């Protein structure tokens, strides 16, 4: 009997608010330690939490995007545990009545089938601070800037059957939260963190005992860590041992998971409703407002690009990979009025340039309207596509406007059919044997003639015109 | 339902309360009498009664998402036992 892997994921995504979930402290990343930790964040006796409206709105927006139920009444609870970066001795979270329940996300599998992954719930909670364990004379240093940062914890059903499916789900979720503008999804800064619940079973049998792997903060690590954990569990069971329910930490340097705490000291969080916070009322008006703020989602965008712009499924996949790319493409497309050309350049030339420079499209030094202008010059025959690549590089280096650069670099294409014809006559005359071969049926030689003409013109002839004239002369 | 001496120890451990060995029995007895009262309550038919999450019959007021706090680190840290480089120092919690 074959082994089957069962995976459920918990994702903590940091919500894009200016201030913390229960205090007016800034949530900016990278500030000096404890300069963004107010009395509420420090857990000072007598301070009281006041819920951030925006955090609730963003949670509702997420719920709508995954077709979930939005709780009309939502309650905050205390999750009690002791750790120095949790000054109150409890984390304010949600247990029985989370803002979002029972949604789903569809993922595409390798065989291009679609699989629906259930999302059990998504609840609001506060983040803890950070502990720094090195270099403080045997003590730990505590930075509470992150304490109280709003998180949305998104809990999936145990619906995934391989590390690949888990990664597909995570990538989809990552794209979604950024599309929705509810989180920047920055994994290095910890804005999108994942814990994986992994178990194995023989097909058709009940779920096996699961282990929870923590500390997964890159897609590559997640896949490796899950695969590693699956192997560990199968080896255990096949050698007659048992998987114990425990929390394991993934160590990317050693590519292994190791036990963090076993079941005997498993957390007993003793949740209870937080008496400092009243139930949150979510009215239909709140939901209407969130609906109005809901942007077009990736799936809808894909369908629209295919339907209205006549793009292929392949094109739209990379064009909708992030909202920034999609917005950039649409701006270029609207200016140019040629979706295919815009798509080719956004996913081709521009994307290659961004990769070389190691930046995201949002940091592109060539704005969408500038690329639009450049592509117009291809479309009206002023320059060739290969010359346009040089112009793009020059635009990145801020050497001038599109037309200035074309002028400076002498990249203007020769469209003068008289000049092209004269040059082609020369080439044909100089290569009589190739002409004979071509006429005898060796069609491939067309590329040779085009190449000769382009070289002779230093790439300035309009290749379409060259082709046309060559055809006339050789076939006519 | 009853709570044993072992459970008293466990709950005390979770809450970081130090209970002297000789008083564990007393705690167990007292907690059991409280739980006994709870059991009386659970005899009441609460069908159709919405669980109460807060005794105040009101809903949560929300705050606008605006930064209102400024950096007061120096003041807050005057009462901390030990600080360094802006960090609060605590006994080491991992090996």
Are B84 and A136 a contacting pair at CB < 8 A? Answer: yes
pTM of the model: 0.82
Beta pairing, strands A246-251 & A211-216: parallel
Q: How far is A228 from chain B (nearest CA, A)?
A: 25
In the predicted model, is pLDDT for residue A262 greater than 60? no
> What confidence tier does A64 reach under pLDDT thresholds 50, 70, 90?
very high
pLDDT score of A261: 66
Query: Is residue B17 packed enough to be buried (19+ CB in 10 Å), middle (13-18) or exposed (0-12)?
Result: exposed
Cβ-defined contact of B62 to A275 (cutoff 8 Å)? no
Task: For A241-251, write each residue's pLDDT tens digit.
Answer: 998 888 888 88
DSSP label of A103:
E
- Which position has the token pair 């990278």? A30
Per-residue pLDDT of A349-376, as tens digits, reads 999 999 998 888 988 899 999 999 988 9
Please name the residue that has the structure tokens 């995201």.
Answer: A360
Mean pLDDT of chain A: 90
The whole-angstrom distance between A93's CA and the closest CA on chain B is 14
- As a whole number of angstroms, the distance between CA A248 and CA A131 comes to 19
Q: Do B93 and A83 touch (CB under 8 A)?
A: yes
Please report the ipTM that was assigned to this predicted complex.
0.90
Question: Could you tell me which of A428, A434, A340, A13 has the C-alpha nearest to residue A182?
Answer: A13
* Chain A partners within 8 Å of B93 (Cβ): 83-84, 131, 133, 140
Q: Cα separations (Å) of A445 from A425, A441, A463, A464, A475?
A: 16, 9, 15, 16, 13
Q: Measured between CB atoms, which of A18, A133, A144 is closest to B66?
A: A18
Locus of tokens 């007292």: B30
| Residue A158 CA from chain centroid, whole number | 23
- pLDDT tens digit sequence for A102-160: 999 999 888 888 999 999 999 999 999 999 887 778 899 999 999 999 999 999 999 99
Determine, for residues A24 and B66 on separate chains, whether the beta-carbon distance falls below 8 Å: yes
Q: What share of chain B is helix, strand, coil (3-state, %, to 5)?
A: 40, 10, 55
CB atoms A273 and B85 under 8 Å: no
End-to-end CA distance of chain B: 39
Pairwise CA distance, residues A319 & B94, whole Å: 46
Choose the closest CB to A279 out of B10, B59, B86. Answer: B59
Q: What is the pLDDT of residues A425-434, one digit of tens each?
A: 888 888 888 8
CB contact under 8 A, B73 and A35: yes
């Amino acid at each position: 009997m074959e082994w089957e892997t069962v995976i459920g994921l918990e994702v903590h995504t940091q919500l894009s608010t200016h201030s913390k979930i229960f205090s007016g402290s800034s949530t900016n990343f990278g500030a000096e330690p404890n300069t963004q930790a107010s009395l509420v964040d420090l857990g000072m006796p007598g301070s009281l939490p006041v819920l951030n409206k925006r955090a609730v709105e963003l949670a509702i927006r997420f719920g709508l995007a995954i077709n979930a139920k939005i709780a009309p009444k939502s309650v905050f609870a205390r999750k009690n545990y002791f750790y120095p970066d949790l000054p109150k001795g409890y984390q304010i979270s949600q247990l029985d009545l989370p803002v979002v329940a029972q949604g789903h996300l569809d993922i595409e599998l390798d065989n291009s089938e679609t699989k629906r992954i259930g999302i059990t719930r998504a609840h609001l909670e506060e983040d803890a601070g950070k502990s720094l364990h090195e270099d403080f004379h045997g003590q730990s240093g505590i930075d509470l800037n992150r304490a109280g940062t709003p998180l949305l914890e998104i809990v999936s059903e145990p619906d995934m059957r391989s590390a690949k499916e888990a990664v597909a789900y995570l990538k989809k979720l990552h794209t979604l939260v950024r599309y929705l503008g509810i989180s920047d999804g920055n994994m290095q800064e910890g804005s999108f963190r994942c814990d994986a619940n992994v178990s194995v079973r023989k097909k058709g049998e009940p779920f096996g005992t699961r282990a929870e792997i923590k500390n997964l903060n890159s897609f590559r690590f997640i896949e490796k860590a899950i695969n590693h954990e699956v192997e560990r569990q199968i080896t255990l069971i096949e050698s007659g041992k048992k998987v114990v329910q425990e929390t394991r930490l993934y160590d990317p340097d050693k590519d292994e998971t190791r036990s963090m705490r076993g079941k005997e000291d498993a957390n007993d969080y003793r949740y209870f409703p937080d008496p400092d916070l009243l139930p949150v009322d979510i009215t239909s008006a709140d939901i209407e407002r969130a609906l109005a703020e809901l942007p077009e989602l990736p799936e809808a965008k894909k369908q629209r690009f295919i339907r209205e712009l006549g793009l292929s499924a392949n094109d739209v996949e990379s064009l909708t990979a992030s909202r920034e790319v999609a917005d950039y493409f649409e701006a270029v497309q609207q200016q140019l009025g040629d979706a295919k050309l815009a798509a080719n350049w956004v996913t081709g030339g521009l994307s290659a340039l961004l990769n070389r420079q190691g930046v995201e499209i949002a940091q592109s030094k060539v704005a969408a309207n500038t690329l639009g202008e450049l592509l117009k010059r291809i479309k009206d025959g002023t320059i060739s596509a290969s010359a346009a690549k040089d112009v793009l590089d020059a635009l990145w280096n801020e050497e001038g406007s599109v037309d200035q650069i074309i002028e400076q670099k002498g990249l203007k294409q020769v469209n003068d059919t008289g000049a092209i014809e004269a040059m082609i006559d020369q080439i044909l005359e100089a290569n009589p044997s190739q002409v004979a071969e071509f006429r005898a049926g060796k069609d491939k030689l067309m590329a040779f003639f085009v190449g000769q003409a382009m070289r002779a013109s230093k790439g300035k002839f309009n290749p379409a015109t060259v082709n046309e004239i060559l055809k006339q002369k050789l076939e006519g | 339902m009853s709570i044993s001496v072992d459970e008293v120890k466990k709950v005390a451990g979770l809450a970081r309360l130090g209970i002297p060995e000789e008083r564990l029995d007393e705690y167990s007895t007292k907690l059991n009498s409280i739980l006994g009262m709870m059991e009386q309550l659970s005899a009441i038919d609460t069908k159709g009664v919405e669980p109460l999450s807060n005794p105040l019959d009101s809903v949560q007021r929300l705050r606008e998402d605006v930064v209102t706090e400024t950096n007061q680190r120096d003041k807050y840290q005057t009462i901390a036992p030990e600080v360094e480089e802006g960090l609060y120092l605590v006994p080491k919690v991992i090996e």
